[in-house]
A and B are shown apart, each in its own frame.
Chain A
Amino acid sequence: MSAAQHDSSANEPVDVTDGKLSRFEIVKEGLRRDGIEILHYEPAFPVPGTKVEKRIERFIAFCFVVAGLGALGFVAVFAFWPWEYEYAEFGGAGSMSKWYTPMLGLTLALGLGGLGIGILTWAKKLLPVEELVQERHDGGSNEEDRVITGAVVGNMVEETGIKRRPMLKRALLFGAAPLGLAAIAPLGTLIVPPGDDLVTTGFNPRNNDGQPVGLMLKDGTRVRPDMISVGGQITAFPAIPDGSTNKHADSPVLLIHLRDEDAKKARENAYEMYEGAQWNNYIAYSKICTHVGCPASLYEQQTNRLLCPCHQSQFLITDNAKPVFGPATRHLPQLPIDVDEDGFFYAVSDFLVPIGPAFWERG
């Protein structure tokens, strides 16, 4: 095969302008000039007009018609199908509009798919079956070209004289390097010093004119002990403006009403810094997981475990919410709580340790 190829490429180029060649002969000559040889070439249907060919033609035409209908259908659905969303408790029974999106998808898929399958069938079944072989010319340029380009580059460097003029070299470096710095300097605008953001929360008294911060529900209601049944839990927020919004994303606590024996256990186990942090059978833990910060809020009443649904860290609430399983290393910080004379919970102080995931300077 390769011998034949060499023979043909050794031939003189055929004159393609003399008008004697057929069109396909000119194509072949073009291929030959581009280093391509036809190994195999035959029409898909040597005898035109056979039954099989006709069937394939009909199939392709059918695909294109389906495509056209699908596209028209898409436009029609888009324009005329009732599309306004109607909410209904059980899936909007009886409403046409709930079929709007599926109908759009279906008609568009028909339009595109019909066209795609039609074109593919055309290419696979009707185009001539061909196999060609083309030479590759990789592996770099020839030695001469390399020498010439090398000389051009070397000469160019020589012409600038950068090697002979060290003073200019240094001056250029001095001139250009600061420009690089200048280019990245605006990014410095992004830097915001963390300050004490990571070690304070909404429960810090400074958010409440120095007075201890109360606990409230999402809707702003202050929390009283009788709002939580035994074994129950609620999410509480600092009772300050925007206390329950994402402006104080670090603040949410889980306030749990422990059963008597659990409360006793929790009190016995309490770390020294948390002595007295519990109020009777009530205990408040930061909701922000110490792993990477998801709200660790799945409370398993039977085992007294808190589970973080993101990475399955588990914390034992009768023992300082220390991690007992999963990737978290640190206990959930406890919020020291008390009840004021009006019967509302308040935070005696801010959290005693930084809440949430660990960071370098947390120490």
Chain B
Amino acid sequence: MKRRKFDAAALPGKVGGALDDRFKLASPARKLMTKVFPDHWSFLLGEIALFSFIVLLLTGTFLALFFEPSMVEVHYEGSYLPLRGIEMSKAYESTLNISFDIRGGLVIRQMHHWGALLFVAAILVHMGRTFFSGAFRKPRETNWVIGAILFILAFFEGLLGYSIPDDGLSGTGLRIIHGITESIPLIGSWAAHALFGGEFPGEVIITRFYILHVLLVPGIMLALIAVHVGLVFAQKHSQWPGPGRTENNVVGYRMFPNYAAKQGGFFMLVFAVIAFMGGLFQINPLWLFGPYEASVVSSGSQPDFYVMFLDGLVRLFPNWELSGFGFILPAVFWPAVIGMGVAFTVPLLYPFIERRFTKDRAHHNLLERPRDNPTRTAVGAMFASIWLITTVTGANDIIADKFNISLNAMTWGGRIGIVVIPVLTFYITKRICLGLQQHDREVLAHGIETGIMRRDPDGRFYEIHQPLTDEVDEHGHPKVLEYNGWTVPKKMNRVGALKPGLRGFFKPIEIPGDSTDQSSLDSKDTREEIEAGKK
């Protein structure tokens, strides 16, 4: 039989046809590929989180091949000399082996840790973008809630992850987790015993945390991330206001090839940054901490940055212990359990809290600039300030040491700060928002400040403004333009009257305008003197 000639050019069509015969893909595939996405740099933040999550799955799988989540005592005989002959758990030993005795283990371990930090950081910034632009409003509340749950899961996933190597630092963290669990009223000691399988530290906690860390929590997260991203597709991405953009359309470019190429490239870049950090920046050098011993701690015991707000809150809270009728409500219950609960549930429920006050039940596909919702922006800034104070307090012993400040002064500064600064932040942020709004409207009404001063014959000075429109009202004044929710040009070069300012980091990549070359400033044959805006 004669062999049929292979036609490479017809192959994609043939495969496409075969797939369509079976799955009826032509229409849905086309719709997916030509789906329009709006573009703005701030929409990329969530992607950083998504990409770091993928890197975490990859590196985590490698680590799981070599990590032994066991608290069985062993003698260390690996290549790190200072710890040779020391008794330690198998978990710590296998982590040391990953770092020293497994080819490429250290770079993967460090990439996993840096990836985790980047993951949580990206989630926080992404949440901030969503919050301050009002993207969580109807119809996207569900996705906000899913995102907030993902943050909570990421927080605990990280906590579980840095607890399982069973080194000196992670054991101290476990001890604190134990102490906090014990502080829960009524069930505290039973809950702590259930968690640790008996007295602290017991012999099961690492094994338990491990299975939560590698199976349960990431499994739930994977499912929620799929829903999270799926809902963005189904509901279509929100967009910033701008020319031609309405509540009922999406302005942007197509999923393929533009968006997909940018996403693919960006994924590689995020991966590259994590690889670079994993290779060159040391993180969690746990061979220096030694195995966990209940009697040993070092100064400067800090958790990862996203847990530091909680640690800071615990440091700041006064020693107000309630007792009576033979029972105790430990002081640490308030900052650690209630504080954490509030920190997690208030953001989770924020869309519904805001709606209670605004009674806003409309669909919103256009985002709001932070200045256009001063109260929300101020509330957000207030929470950010609380987070910042508590996070800094989480490292107040380091700051006290490095800057030679009294430790007690740092604590008192934090205690006073956490009461005063949020209030100030709220007020100042709100005033700044209102001021920015006012200035936008001023420019829309009177034009851009040109910096050209004029003196009237009667001696008065005034600045000439360049109106943004040629249209005039019945009095001959420039028409007051309506604010459309987007950037108002405030510099003359923004409206093309001057050459753009210098850009570039090492050298200007645009040539500065030549003040003597008047022809470049105006396309018209003769330049007219700026007269408008004159009273």
Which residue of the partner chain B has the closest CB to A67? B268
B328 contacts chain A at the CB level, 8 A cutoff: yes
Please encode chain A, from 178 to 214, with 1 for each CB lying within 8 Å of some chain B CB and 0 for all others.
0000000000001111100110000000000000000
B179 contacts chain A at the CB level, 8 A cutoff: yes
Q: Which residues of B contact A31 (CB under 8 A)?
A: 34
Q: Which residues of B contact A130 (CB under 8 A)?
A: 253-254, 258
Does B330 lie within 8 Å of A358, measured CB to CB?
Answer: yes
Binds A, one of B97-105, B155-163, B432-440, B514-522: B97-105
Does A136 lie within 8 Å of B407, measured CB to CB?
Answer: no
A139→B235 CA distance, assembly (Å): 10
Q: Which residues of A contact B389 (CB under 8 A)?
A: none
Q: Which residues of A contact B332 (CB under 8 A)?
A: 291-292, 327, 357
Q: Which residues of B contact A287 (CB under 8 A)?
A: 295
Does B80 lie within 8 Å of A85, measured CB to CB?
Answer: yes
Which residue of the partner chain B has the closest CB to A31? B34
Does A192 lie within 8 Å of B82, measured CB to CB?
Answer: no
A237→B296 CA distance, assembly (Å): 12
Q: Which residues of B contact A295 (CB under 8 A)?
A: 294-297
Closest chain B CB from A147 CB (angstroms): 21
**Most central of A108, A193, A288, A310 by chain B CB within 10 Å:** A310
Does A78 lie within 8 Å of B179, measured CB to CB?
Answer: no
Which residue of the partner chain A has the closest CB to B267? A116
Q: Which of A108, A124, A291 touches B279 (beta carbons < 8 Å)? A: A108
Which residue of the partner chain B has the closest CB to A242? B73
A273 contacts chain B at the CB level, 8 A cutoff: no
Does B248 lie within 8 Å of A325, measured CB to CB?
Answer: no
| Residues of B170-212 whose CB lies within 8 A of A | 171-172, 175-176, 178-180, 182-190, 192-195, 197-201
B301 contacts chain A at the CB level, 8 A cutoff: yes
Q: Which residues of A contact B295 (CB under 8 A)?
A: 218, 235, 237, 244, 252, 287, 295, 297
B36 contacts chain A at the CB level, 8 A cutoff: yes
Binds B, one of A99-107, A275-283, A335-343: A99-107
Does B172 lie within 8 Å of A112, measured CB to CB?
Answer: no
A348 contacts chain B at the CB level, 8 A cutoff: no
Q: Given A87-B79, A101-B110, A192-B194, A359–B183 Cβ distance below 8 Å? A: yes
Does A246 lie within 8 Å of B249, measured CB to CB?
Answer: no
A353→B273 CA distance, assembly (Å): 53
A333 contacts chain B at the CB level, 8 A cutoff: no
| Residues of B276-328 whose CB lies within 8 A of A | 276-280, 292-301, 311, 314-321, 323, 326-328
Q: Which of A36, A103, A237, A329 touches B319 (beta carbons < 8 Å)? A: A329
A101→B111 CA distance, assembly (Å): 11
A356→B183 CA distance, assembly (Å): 11
Does A293 lie within 8 Å of B328, measured CB to CB?
Answer: no
A192→B205 CA distance, assembly (Å): 14
Q: Which residues of B contact A193 (CB under 8 A)?
A: 190, 193
Does B319 lie within 8 Å of A323, measured CB to CB?
Answer: yes
Q: Given A30-B34, A85-B80, A87-B79, A197–B193 Cβ distance below 8 Å? A: yes
B425 contacts chain A at the CB level, 8 A cutoff: no
Does A292 lie within 8 Å of B249, measured CB to CB?
Answer: no
Please encode chain B, from 259 to 271, with 1 for each CB lying within 8 Å of some chain A CB and 0 for all others.
0011011111101
A122 contacts chain B at the CB level, 8 A cutoff: yes
Does A360 lie within 8 Å of B280, measured CB to CB?
Answer: no
| Residues of A51-108 whose CB lies within 8 A of B | 78, 83-87, 101-106, 108
Q: Which residues of A contact B330 (CB under 8 A)?
A: 329, 357-359
Does A116 lie within 8 Å of B266, measured CB to CB?
Answer: yes
Q: Given A87-B79, A198-B189, A294-B172, A363–B327 Cβ distance below 8 Å? A: yes
Does A101 lie within 8 Å of B411, measured CB to CB?
Answer: no
A134→B250 CA distance, assembly (Å): 5
Q: Given A109-B272, A134-B250, A138-B365, A246–B314 Cβ distance below 8 Å? A: no
Does A84 lie within 8 Å of B79, measured CB to CB?
Answer: yes
Does B265 lie within 8 Å of A310, measured CB to CB?
Answer: no
Please encode chain A, from 217 to 259, with 1 for each CB lying within 8 Å of some chain B CB and 0 for all others.
0100000000000000001010000001110111010000000
Does B292 lie within 8 Å of A120, measured CB to CB?
Answer: no
A248→B185 CA distance, assembly (Å): 25
Q: Which residues of A contact B180 (CB under 8 A)?
A: 292
A6 contacts chain B at the CB level, 8 A cutoff: no
B345 contacts chain A at the CB level, 8 A cutoff: no
Does A357 lie within 8 Å of B179, measured CB to CB?
Answer: yes
A326→B281 CA distance, assembly (Å): 34
Which residue of the partner chain B has the closest CB to A108? B275
| Residues of B72-89 whose CB lies within 8 A of A | 73, 79-82, 87
B532 contacts chain A at the CB level, 8 A cutoff: no
**Most central of B253, B266, B411 by chain A CB within 10 Å:** B253
Q: Given A113-B268, A325-B411, A101–B189 Cβ distance below 8 Å? A: no
A10→B275 CA distance, assembly (Å): 53
Q: Given A120-B266, A124-B262, A106–B188 Cβ distance below 8 Å? A: no
Does B294 lie within 8 Å of A246, measured CB to CB?
Answer: yes
Does A127 lie within 8 Å of B257, measured CB to CB?
Answer: yes
Does B184 lie within 8 Å of A309, measured CB to CB?
Answer: no
A-B contact count (CB 8 A): 294
B17 contacts chain A at the CB level, 8 A cutoff: no
B451 contacts chain A at the CB level, 8 A cutoff: no
**Most central of B81, B265, B280, B396 by chain A CB within 10 Å:** B265
A135→B397 CA distance, assembly (Å): 56
A115→B272 CA distance, assembly (Å): 9
Please encode chain A, from 25 to 66, with 1 for each CB lying within 8 Å of some chain B CB and 0 for all others.
000001100101001000000000000000000000000000
Q: Which residues of B contact A291 (CB under 8 A)?
A: 179, 331-332
A12 contacts chain B at the CB level, 8 A cutoff: no
Q: Given A134-B250, A246-B294, A292–B79 Cβ distance below 8 Å? A: no
Does B407 lie within 8 Å of A310, measured CB to CB?
Answer: no
Q: Which residues of A contact B179 (CB under 8 A)?
A: 291-293, 356-357
A249→B179 CA distance, assembly (Å): 13
Q: Given A192-B198, A237-B295, A360-B327, A294–B301 Cβ distance below 8 Å? A: yes
Closest chain A CB from B311 CB (angstroms): 7
A152→B315 CA distance, assembly (Å): 58
Q: Which residues of A contact B294 (CB under 8 A)?
A: 246, 248-250, 252, 288, 295
Does B188 lie within 8 Å of A294, measured CB to CB?
Answer: no
Closest chain A CB from B195 CB (angstroms): 8
B244 contacts chain A at the CB level, 8 A cutoff: yes
B139 contacts chain A at the CB level, 8 A cutoff: yes
Which residue of the partner chain A has the closest CB to B300? A309
B469 contacts chain A at the CB level, 8 A cutoff: no
Closest chain A CB from B178 CB (angstroms): 6
Closest chain B CB from A191 CB (angstroms): 5
A144 contacts chain B at the CB level, 8 A cutoff: no
Closest chain B CB from A36 CB (angstroms): 6
Interface residues of B (CB under 8 A from A): 30-31, 34-36, 73, 79-82, 87, 100-101, 103-104, 106-107, 110-111, 139, 171-172, 175-176, 178-180, 182-190, 192-195, 197-201, 235-236, 244, 247-254, 257-258, 261-262, 264-269, 271-273, 275-280, 292-301, 311, 314-321, 323, 326-332, 335-336, 363, 365, 396-397, 407-408, 411
- A102-B280, A327-B319, A359-B330 are known contacts; what are 6 more A-B pairs with Cβ within 8 Å? A83-B104, A109-B273, A112-B272, A117-B265, A291-B332, A356-B179
What 9 A-B pairs have minimum CB-CB distances, sorted nearest first? A105-B279, A292-B179, A116-B268, A119-B265, A249-B294, A113-B272, A252-B295, A120-B265, A109-B276
* Sample of 29 A–B contacts (CB below 8 Å): A34-B31, A39-B244, A78-B104, A105-B111, A106-B279, A112-B269, A112-B272, A119-B265, A131-B251, A131-B253, A132-B253, A190-B197, A193-B193, A246-B293, A249-B200, A249-B294, A291-B331, A292-B336, A293-B178, A295-B295, A309-B298, A325-B411, A326-B315, A356-B179, A358-B321, A360-B184, A360-B187, A361-B328, A363-B326
